[in-house]
Copies of this chain bind each other. A is one copy, B any other.
Amino acid sequence: MPPIEPVLYPRFNILRTSHIELTVEDLAASRRFYADILGMVVSEETTCGRLYLRAMEERGHHSLCLRQGTPAKCSVIGFKVFDNQDLDRLDKFFVGHGLSTGFAKRPHMGRVLRVTDPWGVPLEFYASMERLRPIHQQYRLYGGVKPLRIDHVNLFSPDVDAAVAFYNSLGFRLTEYTEDEETGRMWAAWLQRKGTVHDIAFTNGKGPRLHHLAYWVMSPMSIIDLLDLMSTSGYLAHIERGPGRHGISNAFFLYVRDPDNHRIEFYCSDYQTVDPDHEPIKWDLHDPTRQTLWGAPAPRSWFEEGTAFENVEVLKPVVAGTPIVAP
Contact = CB atoms under 8 A, between A and B. Distances in A.
B231 A294 contact: yes
A82 B278 CA distance: 12
A274 B140 CA distance: 26
Given A227-B294, A245-B224, A272 B218 contact: no
Contacts of A278: 59
A288 B236 CA distance: 9
Interface stretch (A43-51, A129-137, A302-310): A129-137
A171 interface: no
Chain A interface extent, by class: 35 or more
Contacts of A225: 139
A100 interface: no
Given A139-B229, A274-B195, A293-B232, A8 B82 contact: yes
Nearest to A133: B279
> How often does this chain occur in the complex, in copies?
4
A228 B269 contact: no
A60 B278 CA distance: 9
A interface, by DSSP: helix, strand, loop or mixed? Answer: loop
Contacts of A148: 271
Interface string A49-79: 0000000010110000000000000000000
A274 B16 contact: yes
A116 interface: no
Interface string A7-31: 0110000011000000000000000
B15 A271 contact: no
Contacts of A134: 281
Interface in A199-244: 218-221, 224-225, 227-233, 236-237, 239, 243
A175 to B, nearest CB: 11
Interface of A: 8-9, 15-16, 57, 59-60, 80, 82-83, 128, 131, 134, 136-140, 148-149, 194-195, 218-221, 224-225, 227-233, 236-237, 239, 243, 245, 247, 250, 252, 269, 271-272, 274-279, 281, 288-289, 293-295
